[in-house]
Amino acid sequence: MVNNFVPQTLGIFAWRVVRGRIPVRLELEKRGNDLNSVRCPVCDNALEYVDHIILDCNLSKDTWNRICRWWGFPSFNNPKIDAVFRLDNGNLFSSEGQKAWQAVKWVCGYLLGKNRNQIFFHNKFKTSADVFNDIQIKSFEWISRRARKLSIEWHQWLLNPGFYLDTNLQRTGIG
């Protein structure tokens, strides 16, 4: 999967997520690794599998709800990994706006996975508000540096990037 608005490692991560290739506890145990528990280290309410970490864990759900509100969308309703991570989002935005929206979703998944690893390996926990703030910062840094056709301002990015990108693209004749 390719999106030049974010580093290649996020594309690789997205590809691995969509194909269920993230080393989660449930899969590690199936491969013969002796683990203390196969439960999610974030919520301890369910088995740890890819969809749970990225979409179904309470911390993940709350983070996605924050992102949807930030972009002015309704919350996801029973999302599927491939639908969340793919580029096609209908006619919501121009192609540049769609790439920015996809980039934010990839950053979200990546940082949720990173948060899980921080809990698992270092016992460092971030709240959904902390993860969301990291998503806003990282996605702005990467998109604003890599999207040559977009001129993104920080304060507009924080308010509603979906509206701002659409307006920005219309002004520049891209949309």
Mean pLDDT score, 22-27? 86
Q: What is the pLDDT of residues 139-173, one digit of tens each?
A: 999 999 998 877 888 999 999 887 777 654 444 43
Q: What is the pLDDT of residues 100-144, one digit of tens each?
A: 999 999 999 999 999 999 988 899 999 999 999 999 999 999 999
Mean pLDDT score, 77-83? 86
Mean pLDDT score, 78-105? 80
Residues constituting the chain: 175
First and final CA of the chain: distance in angstroms?
23
pTM: 0.89
pLDDT above 60 (res 53): yes
Question: ∠151-154-157 over CA atoms, to 5°?
Answer: 80
**Cβ–Cβ < 8 Å for 134, 140:** no
